[in-house]
Amino acid sequence: MRVAFFGTPDFAVPSLRALLGEGFDVVAVVTQPDAPQGRSRSKLVPPPVKLVAAAEDLKVFQPEKPTDGAFLVRLRDTRPDIGVVVAYGHILKTELLELPPRGMVNVHPSLLPALRGPAPVEWAVINGLTKTGVTIMQLDAGMDTGAILHQIPDHLDPDVTGGELSEHLAELGAQALVETLALLEQGSLQPVPQDNARATYAPKLTRELARIDWTKDAATIGRLIRGLDPRPGAWTELDGAELKLYSARAVDGQALAGEVMDTDGRLLIAAGGGGAVEVFEVQPAGKARMTADDWLRGARLSPGKRLT
């Protein structure tokens, strides 16, 4: 089977490696343009999947937009049988979806129709789900609305972070993708339409969402911090300066919401309605992520201070 692979971030890498490891004929890798980084924005950093593709001497396309006519012509010349989309970052139009004879399939890190949208991993943690998984679906013009081809459910550890879950589901998604393509080749898969009445959503992560509301209960705040770890990071303010918090858990405690309760070897902050949040790592504005203990030694923070 000749495969055109679409993907960009680290989440996509295991799927591309899995296809190559199973001997699929990857005729094209489509990814985002190299991203400028650094203060002068003069350094161009290639997407992770481009590095994998280059190491395997695969043909790579990096269109600004996948609707570009010249790109579509070049992709059609590779004669893919099917397209595979893994965290590519663009909504694909009908002309591209119909370019491969067998259409496009997508790896989505949730059990659709649950958590449609751009941030299903983070919202699984934020919402306190006990079960998630991966779905391979047939792409259509909607937002994660295509027919389900294959699913693998998975249990959520209660202390998992968004980053840890993403890494785990990337590996699980690679497994599901290889199984799906093998079953498609055998003609033994029956697409199952999604039940739209059961759909839930995982909207884009915004800066407003990431700001910690200390009046909420400790369990909710702990899930927000873990769900946004490592990116974009849940944040609060201390004396008007941003402070990102990571690696947190709900514990017992009682004080005013946002009040620092303990700084003697640990960082303990009161939540609303009783309870507290113990934070193990922080990132002050303009500095690197560090343990709360290291930060406390330099911050000279005293109990009674309020975070807002």
Write down the pLDDT at residue 3: 98
Query: For 37, phi and psi rounded to 5 degrees?
Result: -140, 170
Rounded Cα gap, residues 164 and 230, in angstroms: 9
C-alpha closest to that of 229 among 169, 159, 131: 159
Q: Which residue has the tokens 């679906």?
A: 137
**Count of Cβ atoms closer than 10 Å to residue 18 Cβ:** 19
Taken in order 66, 118, 278, 257, is the CA torsion positive or negative?
Answer: positive
Tell me the pLDDT tens digit for each residue of 193-216.
999 999 999 999 999 999 999 999
Cα(273)–Cα(112) distance, rounded to whole angstroms? 34
| Domains parsed from the chain with CATH numbers | 2-198 (3.40.50.170), 207-299 (3.10.25.10)
Q: How far is CA 189 from the centre of its chain?
A: 27
Q: What is residue 222's predicted lDDT score, i.e. its pLDDT?
A: 98
Condensed to tens digits (0 to 9), the pLDDT of residues 251-280 reads 999 999 999 999 998 999 999 988 999 999
Q: How far apart are CA 296 and CA 234, in angstroms?
A: 19
- For the stretch 1-10, pLDDT in tens is 999 999 999 9
> What does DSSP assign to residue 301?
-
**How high is the pLDDT of residue 284?**
96
Quote the pTM value: 0.95
Cis peptide before 232 (omega within 30 of 0): yes
